[in-house]
Amino acid sequence: MERVIKISEAYEAPYLPLQDLDNSSFNQLGHEQKLNRSLGVLSNFAVSFSIISVLGGLTTTFSTGLTFGGTVTIIYGFPIAGFFTLIVGLAMAEICSAYPTSGGLYYWSGKLSGSEWGPFASWVTGWYASLQLDPTISLQPFQSISC
């Protein structure tokens, strides 16, 4: 006997156990899960740290901050910018939980743009992300040395 949840008088939804919730939301998007979408704590940290590159990013921005704003920029600017970056990250995490796919940003932009502009938004987002990520990762060691 299949268990159902009564949502209203006219509609009932099937009960999905918690372990199937992720796969069922992925199936509702019209996809079949083929990719193992699990990372350990160390793997997740390694990928995030290598893409963000905190040390490389901080050393390249210190000279700009000190030159144009002085110590006030360093003391107050970094925490304020970090706070707003955290807000953007939380918003993206919310979108990621709503559309749990391996496509990432280009898939989100396609879904959020609607059926008319979705393909174009996905195309622009995908190309922009790939064109800016490759030079960023490859040039960060040289930016750190030049400071």
Q: Which residue has the higher pLDDT, 27 or 116?
A: 116
The most confident of the ranges 5-9, 11-15, 71-75, 128-132 is: 71-75
Amino acid 53: pLDDT: 67
**What percentage of the chain exceeds 70 in pLDDT?**
73
Kindly state the average pLDDT of the residues 83-94.
88
Q: What is the pTM assigned to this prediction?
A: 0.49
User: Distance (Å, rounded) from C-alpha 123 to C-alpha 98?
Assistant: 21
Q: In which band, very low, low, confident or very high, does the pLDDT at 97 lie, cut at 50, 70 and 90?
A: confident
pLDDT band at 74, cuts 50/70/90?
Answer: confident
Residue type, 52: I
If pLDDT is split at 50, 70 and 90, which confidence band does 6 have? Answer: confident
- 12 DSSP β-pair partners: 6
Mean pLDDT of 97-118: 80
Residue the block writes with tokens 């290598």: 50
**Measured CA angle at 99 (ends 95, 104), to 5 deg:** 80
Q: What angle do CA 63, 69, 70 make, to 5 degrees?
A: 70
Residues 18-71: tens digit of each pLDDT: 555 566 666 777 777 777 767 788 887 887 777 776 666 676 777 777 888 888
Please indicate whether residue 5 or residue 85 has the higher confidence score (pLDDT).
85
Return the residue matching tokens 């019209």: 30
Partners of 6 in beta bridges: 12
For residue 109, is pLDDT > 60? Answer: yes
pLDDT(118) > 80:
yes
